[in-house]
Structure 1
Amino acid sequence: MKHIIHLSILCCILIYGCNRQKKSQQEAGTIPKMIMSGEKWLDTSGNMINAHGGGILYHDGTYYWYGEYKGDSTYWNPRVPGWECYRTEAGGVSCYSSQNLVDWKFEGIVLPSDTVNEKSDLHYSNVLERPKVIYNDKTKKFVMWLHVDSHDYAKATAGVAVSDSPNGKFEYLGSIRPNDAMSRDMTLFKDDDGKAYHVYSSEENRTLYISELTEDYLKPTGKFTRNFIDQSREAPAVFKRNGKYYILSSGCTAWDPNQAEYAAADSMLGEWKMLGNPCSGKDADITFYGQSTHVLKVEGKEDAYIAMFDKWNKTDLINSRYIWLPVKFNGDSIDIEWRDKWNVEEVFKN
């Protein structure tokens, strides 16, 4: 009996000590914060992060996450009979900031929708999707491109906006069909030499265009390539490593998940080679129920890249979740393995 009592006392002491240590770590802010894919993510004010189809810009020591600000009411658009056109009223483009990729502060709506002018591209009845922002070192402007569409997705254009600061209000400049072609799901890529590219699904989403932008990043130069012709790839996410360029993309199955594919090339406007499904682990054949939106290079760390996906909830779009996973490399091949939770500092130690 004495041994049992002594063991119980020892257990209590250990638990007390562990709790005190955990509390001390919490107070000191030293407990590693985890990225938990598919869970509800809250900002530093305790509100749900609302930045879907987004991308991240790193500038002057801070990460800025831009995304679609979804309204709280999802509806099905009966005027689009060809697919399940679930949508919300467009809330504009949101911005969040962070120094550690875990604690995100809401900076506000940096490109608001228009609640008055029904003819405006930005009217809340229209589609404002997949905003991406890059910084122009020559003009000192932050340049945003996004998919701007009519409620029935017939307009198929790209919109452009600029700002003097990453978290300031962006001035909308208008929309175009770049290179006289449809533009829907899209991303931006800024290369090491300062050149920028607009990458977008075109030709009714059958073909992916890569379009060089002018020096101010506001227009296409007219130099472009057509890629993965008739393969129906969308949701492009582009990154570069060791001189090699990569594109992640999804198939076209509306809101439903499908298998991701990735391709590599030696230049943005060069020949792209399809290399298969980069995902592994649970539900890898349907991209973990997600769809690609961006690949982020973690600053200050070697070979540190995060693949970002949206886990769409088509009947409650504001409650769609985020999936962020580290990218592993084996030569020029990549692997994105499912993890329930992970810590940036632990995975990317160098």
Structure 2
Amino acid sequence: MIRPGSEILDDRGRIAQLHGVGVQRVGERWFAWGEDKTSGPTFTAVACYSTGDFDEWRFEGNALEEGDGDLAGDRIIERPKVLRRPDGIWIMFLHVESADYSAARVGYAIAERPEGPYRYIGSERPLGNLSRDIGVFQEDGVGYLLSEDRENGLHIYRLRDDYLAVESIVVTLRQQRNPEIGYESPTLVKANGRYHLFGSDLTGWSLNDNMHASATALEGPWTDWSPFAPVGSRTFDTQVSVVLPAGDGFVFIGDRWLPDDLFRSKTVVLPLVIEGETATLAWRDEWTIGELA
């Protein structure tokens, strides 16, 4: 039974480090890669878990561990997302930062198995742009990177064929009320021929009503941004991390950040309804993934 907002423990009885999580379906299980906040904001590892029901989580090991350069212990590594290339190789994407958040780069790592270990390749500012919170999307073997650029907006990039660099900008989206900026913590899914994009406002650790837009083509036109949870709920006090298809529905996973105790920040898992141009998130005290079958 999934109880949103309760502490998630792994099979070792430890708090699952699912912060800023990325998730992919692998066979009968979902694999998840999260920020290990053992050291607070600075980098310790990217932890890998798997689950069959989003209730019980198995620790698969550290997919990526502290090293040197971008992966040094005084650096910040956030938003681990993973895609499997058509050739079967797994690529991990990372928000790579310096302690003062001036780096604003996207990093790439590679592995033969979803749980890793991943070999770090390097980082870039895609096409010279700032890159902070990221998301990924894949369709027909083509990979896409979603990247928040504080100076220009939220970019959807097409990745190079090897997924290890950005090739071109597909579209850049901005807010209606503040067209100079976009949304952060982006995630994208497709349902019934429409693309659905979700993101969080730029309010730091403070929570906000996350937003949603949709389109029939990645290039747009996109609908106006609108809240997908009750207005004023601050998306049930979460920041969206990922939305993913499951059964006949969708799963929303968000973070309840505790800035003074990031290690214990809770992960909230809720069912999400997508119909036509709209998406709706409602609170559930408890539910099961079987309800989406």
Q: Quick check: TM above 0.5?
A: yes
Residue type of the alignment partner of 1:69: D
Report 1:9-24 matches (<5 A). none
Q: Specify the alignment match of 1:238 in structure 2.
A: 188
Q: Specify the alignment match of 2:258 in structure 1.
A: 313
Q: Specify the alignment match of 1:336 in structure 2.
A: 281
Q: Secondary structure of the equivalent of 1:47?
A: coil
Residues 246, 330 of structure 1: alpha-carbon distance in 2 compared, 3 angstrom cutoff: closer
Q: Specify the alignment match of 1:39 in structure 2.
A: 6
Residue type of the alignment partner of 1:60: G
Question: How many angstroms does 1:284 deviate by?
Answer: 4.9
* Bigger strand fraction: 2
Is structure 2 residue 10 aligned with structure 1 residue 60? no
Residue type of the alignment partner of 1:134: L
Q: Specify the alignment match of 1:278 in structure 2.
A: 228
Q: Partners in 2 of 1:171 and 1:323 — Cα distance?
A: 30
Does the Cα contact within 8 Å between 1:248 and 1:262 map onto a contact in 2?
Answer: yes
Does the Cα contact within 8 Å between 2:53 and 2:288 map onto a contact in 1?
Answer: no
Q: Specify the alignment match of 1:121 in structure 2.
A: 70
Q: CA RMSD in A?
A: 1.5
Is structure 2 residue 195 aligned with structure 1 residue 248? no
Question: How many angstroms does 1:286 deviate by?
Answer: 0.9
Match of 2:211 among 250, 257, 261: 261
Report 1:42-191 matches (<5 A). 42-72=9-39, 74=40, 88-114=41-67, 117=68, 120-137=69-86, 139-191=87-139
Does the Cα contact within 8 Å between 1:181 and 1:203 map onto a contact in 2?
Answer: no
* Bigger helix fraction: 1
TM-score, structure 1 normalization? 0.79
Report runs of 4+ in structure 1 exceeding 6 Å deviation: none
Does the Cα contact within 8 Å between 2:22 and 2:80 map onto a contact in 1?
Answer: yes
Q: Specify the alignment match of 1:6 in structure 2.
A: none
Question: How many angstroms does 1:38 deviate by?
Answer: 1.3
Q: Secondary structure of the equivalent of 2:70?
A: coil
Residue type of the alignment partner of 1:189: F
Q: Partners in 2 of 1:181 and 1:89 — Cα distance?
A: 23
Q: Specify the alignment match of 1:13 in structure 2.
A: none
Q: Partners in 2 of 1:200 and 1:214 — Cα distance?
A: 15
Deviations 1:213-252 (A, max 9, x none): 1122111112432211424411111111011001111111
Q: Which has the larger radius of gyration?
A: 1
Structure 2: segments with no counterpart, 5+ residues: none
Does the Cα contact within 8 Å between 1:326 and 1:336 map onto a contact in 2?
Answer: yes
Aligned residues: 289
Does the Cα contact within 8 Å between 1:147 and 1:158 map onto a contact in 2?
Answer: yes
Q: Specify the alignment match of 2:156 in structure 1.
A: 210
Percent of residue pairs bearing the same amino acid type: 31
Q: Secondary structure of the equivalent of 1:288?
A: helix
Structure 1: segments with no counterpart, 5+ residues: 1-33, 75-87
Does the Cα contact within 8 Å between 1:261 and 1:274 map onto a contact in 2?
Answer: no
